[in-house]
A = this chain, B = another copy of it.
Amino acid sequence: MSPSISTLGERELIARLQQRVSPPPAHVRIGIGDDAAVIAPARNMDDVVTTDSLVEGVHFRRDWSTAEAIGHKALAVNLSDLAAMGATPRASLLSLALPADFPLADFDALLDGYLALSAASGAVLVGGNLTRSPGPLIVDVTALGSVGHRHVLTRTGARKGDELYVTGTIGAAAAGLAMLQAGRDRERADDAARSCLERYERPEPRLRCGRIVGRTRAASAAIDLSDGFSDAAWRLAEGGNVGLVVDAAALPVAAGARAWAREASQDAVDFAMGGGEDYEIAFAVPARRRSRFRAAVRRCSGLTVTRVGVFGGAAGVWLERDGAKAPLPRAGFAHF
């Protein structure tokens, strides 16, 4: 049994954290240890900033995910927001509310998960905050990045005639969560199921893709799928004040999500579109930019994109299936 964090004081925990952090790059003028961090802005770029929390019992359970995975995911969900803006990560802040019984080994592992992704992405840890929690473990992250004025991707640019693309596959994270909820034995899971568990626990933000699509101005709008595909589709349509028709047959539902839905006697498309936490990106792409967009994506080693719909037509979002169109339910991941 590892000792708990309450055997150490705040200063000792911060010292433990600082030992794990690499020396900061030049743009971080003042990092961890002062009243605030000081960062030189990227030349001729705008700052991009976002924050998102993971709350124990709401977004994760400690008996389902390792502390390392929780640390990774807390940063990943923020980097996914930067990716969807076309931004490049430059810094991050980590704010932890820790239950008194939180094991010190888990504190270290959480930092390891966070710092590995921080190092790989450029989101250098420059500050944060440690406090006690009388309840759940809460991991609150702020990520900062930069983007050129003309390269920023927003939710509001979709126009009539633009095509809707989505990266990777959808439904995998929701299937992974459902498997955990059903108590599925991880050791006996097949590859497709295991990849769903992995997607739920360790999402990979589509940073390179967002950045290249932004820089090449290949898309008119973008959003990440944090709250699920349906929610993202609705937001892009509303943001552009335009209708949207989604082709059910085209949706890249993950193999593990299809298998899970079959087992649970659910419709695979409905299941995949309604589930949150995919952390893929949906792009609106003007038809005349299609080849530019495809070329941009080819530079994102191994990442697939799929055309799944077209903007225009009647207001709202419609699902076309077997020749019939029906309104797409808006349901996204509900937080309250």
Contacts and interface: CB of A to CB of B under 8 A. Distances in A.
Interface of A: 5-6, 8-10, 13, 29-30, 33-41, 45-53, 55-59, 80-82, 84-85, 87, 91, 93, 95, 97-98, 100, 126-136, 138, 140, 142-145, 147, 149, 152, 154-156, 222-224, 334-336
Contact of A38 (B47, B52, B58, B133): B47
A39 B47 contact: yes
Identify which of A13, A52, A131 gathers the most chain B CB atoms within 10 Å of its CB.
Answer: A131
A38 B34 contact: no
A33 B134 CA distance: 31
A53 B50 CA distance: 16
Contacts of A9: 334-336
B41 A133 contact: no
B132 A135 contact: no
Among A59, A133, A334: residue with most chain B CB under 10 A: A133
A84 B34 CA distance: 9
A334 B130 CA distance: 11
A229 to B, nearest CB: 15
A172 to B, nearest CB: 20
Contacts of A142: 49, 51, 93, 142
Contact of A30 (B37, B97, B154): B154
Contacts of A138: 97, 133, 138, 140
B53 A36 contact: no
Contact of A34 (B91, B136, B155): B155
Contact of A49 (B37, B48, B134): B37
A91 B49 contact: yes
A131 B49 contact: no
B49 A36 contact: yes
A93 B49 contact: yes
B135 A58 contact: no
A278 to B, nearest CB: 14
Given A97-B55, A134-B136, A334-B10, A224 B41 contact: no
A156 B140 CA distance: 28
Contact of A46 (B33, B38, B135): B38
A238 to B, nearest CB: 11
